[in-house]
Amino acid sequence: MQKILNMILGCLIVSLGIFILQSSEIITGGTAGLALSLAYTASASFALMFLFINIPFYVLAFFKLGWKFTISTIFAVTLLSGMSEIVQLLPAATVHPLAGAVIGGTVIGLGLSLLFMNGSSLGGANILSLFLQQKYGWDPGRTLFIFDFLVILTGLYSVGIIRGIYSVISVIFISLIISYFKSKIADKNNNEQASYNENTAVS
């Protein structure tokens, strides 16, 4: 029950961070950044774009990180999509892109770290970064930064170069927060993977 509550809290925190980014009209990395970019370009719902983009990554999660992680991720992605729609009911606000990048990036980083520590993610590069951490010991914060930077490069069309620079700043703060908690994330997910491997061996 505690894990579910932590996941709900993590998704709520991330959804607030995304709301701040939207109020600043900037993007971020990962599938959330792709969803924001598509939402800006096509005037579509972020929630629908986010759900659609994550579908291929569920396969990777199932085969590399176990079914428990996959189910938790699907739950988290769906939950975040729903919460993102709810926070849109908050009063509209205009936030300076620099403030939005720093605050939004920090908030999203905290929410993602909480999800990671509870054996879940928000799909996309999050899944890949956790897999690379377990397989090769790579820092998930740095891994996410590389992928996020590439996502932002492809999103310059929707936000422009100046806001693209602010978007990079948001990614930097997300990466810094996740890197700060990397030891706790690694310990938690190594325990989850060990349990998964043990259960697989028994079956």
Phi first, then psi, for residue 93 (nearest 5°) are -145, 150
**CB contact at 8 A, 100 and 21:** yes
Confirm whether 97 is domain-assigned: yes
Q: Give residue 155's identity as a one-letter amino acid code.
A: G
For 13, 17, 150, 153, the CA distances from 111, given in Å and listed in that order, are: 5, 8, 22, 24
> Does residue 201 carry a pLDDT above 60?
no
Confirm whether 9 is domain-assigned: yes
Confirm whether 99 is domain-assigned: yes
Q: At which residue do the structure tokens 């579908």 appear?
A: 55
**CB contact at 8 A, 86 and 79:** no
Task: Average the pLDDT over 117-146 and give the result.
Answer: 77
Q: At which residue do the structure tokens 């998704």 appear?
A: 11
Confirm whether 203 is domain-assigned: no
**Structural domains in the chain (count):** 1
pLDDT of residue 190: 62
Confirm whether 200 is domain-assigned: no
> Does residue 39 carry a pLDDT above 60?
yes
> Does residue 38 carry a pLDDT above 80?
yes
Say how many CA atoms lie within 13 Å of 125 toward its Cβ.
Answer: 23
Give pLDDT tens digits for 84-103. 888 888 887 788 999 999 99
Instruction: Provide the domain limits for residue 122.
Output: 2-194
Task: Average the pLDDT over 146-170 and give the result.
Answer: 84
Q: Give residue 98's identity as a one-letter amino acid code.
A: L
pLDDT of residue 191: 59
> Does residue 72 carry a pLDDT above 70?
yes
pLDDT of residue 153: 83
What's the alpha-carbon Rg for the chain, to the nearest Å? 16
Task: Average the pLDDT over 40-64 and give the result.
Answer: 81
pLDDT of residue 160: 84
> Does residue 52 carry a pLDDT above 70?
yes
Q: How confident is the model at residue 173 (pLDDT cuts 50, 70, 90)?
A: very high
With a pLDDT cut of 90, the percent of the chain lying above it is 13
Cα–Cα distance for residue pair 200/203, rounded to 1 Å: 5
Confirm whether 41 is domain-assigned: yes
Confirm whether 199 is domain-assigned: no
> Does residue 178 carry a pLDDT above 60?
yes
Task: Average the pLDDT over 135-154 and give the result.
Answer: 79
Q: How confident is the model at residue 193 (pLDDT cuts 50, 70, 90)?
A: low
Task: Average the pLDDT over 124-142 and give the result.
Answer: 77
